[in-house]
Structure 1
C-alpha cells in the first residue's frame, strides 16, 4: 500500500514514505499508523474543493472567488493590492486580504503576512507578529518562511538571537532547496556558527547553491579551493568557479591569450583571483611568454593581499631560488603567513624546515606541530599517518617534551600506533620527569586505573598534585575529587574546596557547579546557599546542564534566592533540552501537577519518557501512572515525538565526580 500524504502529529511531520514503510512492516506497525490516521481523520475539518487562480484571470473574477471564501483567491487579491496589479495600489487592503487567506491556513499567505509585519507594509511594523506568521507557514514546510525564521533567529528580530536556532531553520530550508539558506549553511559550517565547524560540509552547501547559479556561493567555492578549506587546494578549480561568479564567457575562458588579457585587466582592478591566474599564466607560458620572474611578481601581489596559496608559492620561490634570489629565512616567513591561514602545503614545508633547520633554528617539536596541522588539513591517508608517526617518534627521541607526552597518550589510546599501555606510561614518565603538566595528569590517570602500571591511588594523587600545582585545570578538578573522596590522600573536604575553587576560577563549568554544591550543602566550607547559587549561575551561563539543573532546583526550593517557579522551569527546561534526565523528570512532575506551568498530562508524559530513556529509574512508574489519563492515540503520538527528540540529542556525558561525591552530598532538593 502506498501513502502519498504526510501526517502532522503534535507539530511533527511524519513523511509519507515513512508511513508506507510502517504499513509494509509487521501488523503492530499497521495498527499504530491506522490509529493515527483514524484519529486525524475524525478531527480533520472537511476540505473545500481547490480553486485554481491564474495570472491572466480578470481581477473581478478573482475577487468574486475571494469573496466566496477561496484562500488562493484571497491571496491573489492581497498580492494585487500590494503591487498595484489590476487595482489601485493599497497596502492596507492588500494586508486585509492576506490575513483572510492566512487565517484559512494558506502557507504562502501566512509567509506574505509575516513579511508585511516585518517590513511595516500596510501595518505597523511588528517583528514578533511577523515571527508568529512565519512559524505558522513553516509548520507547513513553506521554504521561504523557514529561511526567514533563520534570519530572524540570527539577527534577534522578533525572537531571541540564537545562532544554533538560526542554523536549525536554515538547515530545514536548505534541505528543501532554498539557495540563500544553502549559502547561510555554508557560512555557518565554515565559521562554526551555531553548528560544529566543518569546512568540508561548508563547501558542500556552497556547491549546492553555486550549481544553481548563485554568484556568492560560486565565489565562496572559489575561495575554498584557493585556500584548501574543506577541499584539496586547487588553483585551477578556484579560478574555474571564480570565472562562473564573475560571468566570464566560455569563449574567453577557453582562449589562453584572451584569458590572459582578461586576467591582466581584472588584476589591475585588484581582483586577487586574476592576480593568481596571471602568475600561473607566466609560469606555464599560457597565453603569454613564459617568464618566472614576472609570474612571481604577480604571486607577490596576491600574497600581499592575503591569498594563502600565493604566499606559499612566494615562499617556495624563495626556498628554491626560482624567480627570486634564494633566501630560506624569507621563505620561512612567507610559509608562516600561509600556514597560519591553514595552507596545507605551507604547513608541511614548515614541518620540514623546523626538522632540518632550514631558514630557522632546528626544533623537532615545532616541526611536529606543523606536520600535525598539515595532516588535519589534508586528505586522510595511511601513508600520511605513518609519516606523521615517524616524525612524532623522532621528535620524542630527540627530547621534545610535548612530543613525549603526546606519544605516551597515543600508545595508551592506540591512536596512530598499536595500543601499548606500558610503552605509553614509559613516555609519560619521561615527559612528567621534565615537568610537563599534561603528562603528569595523564600519568596520574593511568596510575588510578592501573593501566600500563600498578594500580596505585597514592601515586595517582601525587602526579595529579604536580600537574595541579602548575595550574592545569583538569588536574585541579581531579585533586578536588581525590581530596573529597580520600583516594590516595587523607580525606580533606576543605582542601577539596580549595582545588575545586582554583579550577572554577579558571572558568571550568564543572568545577563551578561542584563548588556550588559545596556551598549549598556546607561541606569543606560554611554553608552559604547564596554563594552556591552564584557558582551555579556561572556554570549555567556556560550551558553546563548540571549547573542549569541545580539552578532550577534552587529557584524551585528558594535556596539562596527567592522562590520563583517560572524561573525554575526556565532553567530546568534548558537542562532537560540537553538530555539531563533529572531535569526532564522534574519538568514532567511540574506539568503533571501544574506547578509553575499549566497542567498538561501530554507534556508531562513526554518528559517522563525522555527521562526514563535517559536512565532515571523514577520516571517509568510516573509515565505508567499517567498513560491511563490519556487516549491511546495521544500516548502513541507522544511516543513518536519522544523518539524524534531522542534522535536529535546526544547523550549527556557522565560527570567524573558522580558516584562517591553524589552519594555523600545529594544536590539541593534531590528526590
Structure 2
C-alpha cells in the first residue's frame, strides 16, 4: 500500500466561481434592495388569503389561473376569502390562522434571505481571494457570511486560519471553524477536521476515534479524498486496527472516481489479495489506468507485469521498457535500474512489483490557485 506520510494533509483544489461572471457585489445589493419588496408581496398575499394551497382547498383544483399579483387580488379565491372574513363567526379562527401564517412566512423568508446574503458574501470573498492580494478582505467577507451559519463560508474561514491567508496561521482556530461547518454536514470540513484529529499536530490532541467518525461521514458523502485517506488508514496505520476489507471497499469507491492513487492501491489489493479476491488481471487494468494518469509506482508495476507476462498480459519487453522509462522520468529508482538491464534479464530472475509508493496525502486546500470552489449549495 502507498505509505502515509507523518505530516499528511488533505488534498485537492475545489473552489467555485460565478458561472455568468457577474459581480457578487451586484448580487448582494440585489438581495438587500429586493428583500423589502419581496417581503411585502409575500405578506400581502397572505393578508388577502391568496396562498395557492388555501385556494385549492376553498375553490377547488384548477380554478386558479395565472400568477400575476393583480389577478390574485381579483381572483374568485380572494373574493371568497374576503367574504368569509366579513362573517363574524369566522373572524376569530381566520385571525389566528392569518397570524400563524404570517409568522411562518416571515421565518421562512428571512431564512432564505440570510442564506442568499451569505452566498453573496462568500462569493465576494472568493473574488477577493482570486485576486491574490486581497486575502484580508476575503477573510473579512468569509467571516461575515459565517455569521449566517453558512457552512461553506465557515469552511473557508477555517482554511484562512490554517493557511495563514488574511489572518495569522492558527490550527486551533482552523479546527474550531471546521467543526462548525462539519456539524452542518460539510464534507470537506469533516475531512479536514478528521485529518487534524488523526494527526494531532501543532497543539491539537490526537483523537483517532473522533477522526475516524468524521472521515467516515465525509467518505459516505462521496468525497474521494476521504475515501482514499481512510482506506489507507485501515490498510497500514499504526494508530488504528487494520481492516483490509474496509480498506479495499473505500479504495474501490475512490478509484471509481478516477483517482490514480486509489487506482494504484486498489491494484495492489487485487494483486496480493488484500481484503479482496486475488485477481492479477484486475490489478493490471488498475495499474494501467493509474499509469496513464502519471502515477510513477503504477508505471513501474505495469512495466513488471509486461516483463513477466502477468495479469493476462503477454510478455512485451518494448512495453515494459516504455513504462520503466516513464516511471524513471518521475524519479522511480527501481524503474531506472530495470530500464538499464531489461534486455539482459533471464527468465529465472525474480522481479517484484512495488507495494509502497512515495506520495503523501495533503489536507483539502481550497485556497490554492487556480481558484475553483469550496462551496456547493
Same fold (TM > 0.5):
yes
CA–CA distance in structure 2, aligned partners of residues 476 and 500 of structure 1: 6
Does the CA-based 8 Å contact 2:139-2:165 persist in structure 1?
Answer: no
Count of residues paired in the alignment: 257
Give the SS at the match of 1:551: helix
Does the CA-based 8 Å contact 1:460-1:488 persist in structure 2?
Answer: no
Equivalent of 2:29, from 324, 337, 353? 353
- Higher RCO structure, 1 or 2 (CA under 8 Å, sep 6+): 2
* CA RMSD in angstroms, aligned pairs only: 2.8
Give the C-alpha shift of residue 411 in structure 1. 1.2
CA–CA distance in structure 1, aligned partners of residues 257 and 18 of structure 2: 30
What is the match of residue 266 of structure 2? 515
- Under a length normalisation based on structure 1, what TM-score does the superposition of the two structures give? 0.36
Structure number, greater radius of gyration: 1
Does the CA-based 8 Å contact 2:25-2:120 persist in structure 1?
Answer: no
CA–CA distance in structure 2, aligned partners of residues 368 and 556 of structure 1: 57
Give the SS at the match of 2:173: helix
Pair 1:536 & 2:287 matched: yes
What is the match of residue 338 of structure 2? 586
Give the SS at the match of 1:479: helix
Pair 1:393 & 2:143 matched: yes
What is the match of residue 119 of structure 2? 366
What is the match of residue 565 of structure 1? 317
Give the SS at the match of 1:507: coil
Give the C-alpha shift of residue 464 in structure 1. 0.9
Instruction: Give the direction of change, closer, same or farther, for the CA distance of 1:502–1:420 in structure 2 (3 Å limit).
Output: same
Does the CA-based 8 Å contact 2:125-2:141 persist in structure 1?
Answer: no
Instruction: Give the direction of change, closer, same or farther, for the CA distance of 1:582–1:459 in structure 2 (3 Å limit).
Output: farther
CA–CA distance in structure 2, aligned partners of residues 354 and 502 of structure 1: 42
The CA deviation string for residues 150-197 of structure 1, in whole angstroms up to 9 with x for no partner, is xxxxxxxxxxxxxxxxxxxxxxxxxxxxxxxxxxxxxxxxxxxxxxxx
What is the match of residue 360 of structure 2? 655
Does the CA-based 8 Å contact 1:461-1:487 persist in structure 2?
Answer: no
Equivalent of 2:157, from 377, 398, 407? 407
CA–CA distance in structure 1, aligned partners of residues 190 and 339 of structure 2: 42
Give the SS at the match of 2:160: helix
CA–CA distance in structure 1, aligned partners of residues 337 and 27 of structure 2: 53
Give the SS at the match of 1:431: helix
Residue pairs, 1:221-260, within 5 angstroms: none
The CA deviation string for residues 473-512 of structure 1, in whole angstroms up to 9 with x for no partner, is 1111112112112555432111111111111111111101
Give the C-alpha shift of residue 348 in structure 1. 4.5
Give the SS at the match of 1:455: coil
Pair 1:545 & 2:296 matched: yes
CA–CA distance in structure 2, aligned partners of residues 371 and 579 of structure 1: 42
CA–CA distance in structure 1, aligned partners of residues 331 and 34 of structure 2: 52
Equivalent of 2:198, from 431, 434, 448? 448
Instruction: Give the direction of change, closer, same or farther, for the CA distance of 1:389–1:524 in structure 2 (3 Å limit).
Output: same
What is the match of residue 48 of structure 2? none
Any stretches of 5+ residues in structure 2 without a counterpart? 1-16, 39-112, 347-356, 363-377
Instruction: Give the direction of change, closer, same or farther, for the CA distance of 1:406–1:653 in structure 2 (3 Å limit).
Output: farther
Give the C-alpha shift of residue 355 in structure 1. 7.0
Give the C-alpha shift of residue 375 in structure 1. 2.7
Give the C-alpha shift of residue 407 in structure 1. 1.3
CA–CA distance in structure 1, aligned partners of residues 250 and 130 of structure 2: 38
CA–CA distance in structure 2, aligned partners of residues 366 and 541 of structure 1: 39
Instruction: Give the direction of change, closer, same or farther, for the CA distance of 1:484–1:582 in structure 2 (3 Å limit).
Output: same
CA–CA distance in structure 2, aligned partners of residues 437 and 415 of structure 1: 22
Residue pairs, 1:44-63, within 5 angstroms: none
Instruction: Give the direction of change, closer, same or farther, for the CA distance of 1:550–1:353 in structure 2 (3 Å limit).
Output: farther
Residue pairs, 1:591-610, within 5 angstroms: 594=344
Does the CA-based 8 Å contact 2:122-2:142 persist in structure 1?
Answer: no
Residue pairs, 1:87-102, within 5 angstroms: none
Instruction: Give the direction of change, closer, same or farther, for the CA distance of 1:491–1:377 in structure 2 (3 Å limit).
Output: closer
What is the match of residue 213 of structure 2? 462
The CA deviation string for residues 29-83 of structure 1, in whole angstroms up to 9 with x for no partner, is xxxxxxxxxxxxxxxxxxxxxxxxxxxxxxxxxxxxxxxxxxxxxxxxxxxxxxx
What is the match of residue 480 of structure 1? 231
What is the match of residue 419 of structure 1? 169
Instruction: Give the direction of change, closer, same or farther, for the CA distance of 1:355–1:456 in structure 2 (3 Å limit).
Output: farther
CA–CA distance in structure 1, aligned partners of residues 178 and 118 of structure 2: 16
Equivalent of 1:430, from 158, 167, 180? 180
Does the CA-based 8 Å contact 2:121-2:142 persist in structure 1?
Answer: yes
- Under a length normalisation based on structure 2, what TM-score does the superposition of the two structures give? 0.61
Give the SS at the match of 1:566: helix
CA–CA distance in structure 1, aligned partners of residues 324 and 183 of structure 2: 46
